[in-house]
Amino acid sequence: MRGAATPGRRRAGARSARRRLPGVGPGQMTGMKQRTIGTVEVGAIGLGEMPLSVDDRPDEARAHAVIHAALDCGVTLIDTADAYCLGAADFGHGETLVAGALQAYGGSDDILVATKGGHTRTDHEWGRDGRPEYLKRAAQDSLRRLGGDAIGLYQFHRPDTKVPYEESIGALRELLDAGTIRMAGISNADVAQIEIAHEILGDDLVSVQNEFSPDFRSSEDELRRCGELGLAFLPWSPLGGMSAAGGLGERHAAFAEIAEAHGISPQRLCLAWMLAKGDHVVPIPGSSRPETIRDSAAAADLQLSPDDLARLDAA
């Protein structure tokens, strides 16, 4: 995994060249168009692992098949979290699943695994814990499950209203300085929190992961600010969420009509629309079947006309 292969972390204020395997040019490593997270080039479409770990998840064989199908299509970013599980006894399932799938695939040096910490789980509910001591311990546990000598991208999962945001982000700074993580990100953050994290972490802050979809466009300001700061923006639930993704075209007529004109699914069209919002956008659609991640991955090659994009923006 890239947690082990990525060059050493950067200090705040320092610029580093984009990571590329020796002798391999952009796009040649995977066949998918590339985008950049920090110093690492990844496929323009990532994989959100959550559906493979929560309620109604597939069995391990099919979950591995989904991840392997994504890799075969050129996906080189897999996003998971320690809290993607069924409950306390299952905590860390997503990370363990990803590590096992990559080992079974037989090669993962060019894969960036992103994980998150700051959520807790019981059998019935999600909680939050943004205390620095908790986040540092959670990161160590995540590293143990994922393997390697450092986590490629570690993200603070969700602000904890009981803990000053600066203190939680300070824990990421300590994890970077200790070499436990290579790059840092934040999730479910507003513009003010992005500014705080950027002030504390400098260039070691590389990404923001927020909900963004045709159903949920409230993160437009955060998407725009990420572009200004040179941060990757990772839309989660880009198709509307696990239970709603299949009905995207039914809820949004313009997406269905333009998709039909192109002879593709509304879901593929949606991801291409997101990619067109900026070179810093890397959607991470979830999937529980190989065929759906293959369809999502094909969005990286779809070019939409200005008229198409205007209609989708206005939908």
Which pLDDT value is given to residue 31? 82
Listed residue (67, 87, 85) closest to 76, CA to CA: 67
Catalytic residue chosen out of the listed positions 84, 134, 154, 165: 84
Q: Tell me the β-bridge partners of 48.
A: 79, 286
Angle between helices 165-178 and 132-146 (to 10 degrees): 40
Q: Which domains does the chain have, with CATH numbers?
A: 2-248+278-304 (3.20.20.100)
The reply to whether the predicted model has a pTM over 0.95 is: no
Catalytic residue list contains 84:
yes
Which pLDDT value is given to residue 139? 98
Residues 6 or more apart whose Cβ sits within 8 Å of residue 80: 49, 50, 53, 94, 95, 97, 98, 113, 114, 115, 116
Taking the C-alpha atoms of residue 300 and residue 284, their distance in angstroms, rounded to an integer, is: 12
Per-residue confidence of the chain (315 residues) as pLDDT tens digits? 544 333 333 333 332 333 333 333 333 344 899 999 999 999 999 999 999 999 999 999 999 999 999 999 999 999 999 999 999 999 999 999 999 999 999 867 789 999 999 999 988 899 999 999 999 999 999 999 999 999 999 999 999 999 999 999 999 999 999 999 999 999 999 999 999 999 999 999 999 999 999 999 999 999 999 999 999 999 999 999 998 999 999 999 999 999 999 999 999 999 999 999 999 999 999 999 999 999 999 999 999 999 999 999 999
Which pLDDT value is given to residue 17? 33
Taking the C-alpha atoms of residue 17 and residue 71, their distance in angstroms, rounded to an integer, is: 25
Which pLDDT value is given to residue 124? 82
3-state secondary structure of 248: helix
DSSP letter at 181?
E
Listed residue (246, 205, 247, 242) closest to 226, CA to CA: 205
Q: Encode pLDDT of 250-289 as tens digits.
A: 999 999 999 999 999 999 999 999 999 999 999 999 999 9
Query: Please, are residues 309 and 272 in contact by the beta-carbon 8 Å criterion?
Result: no
Which pLDDT value is given to residue 1? 52
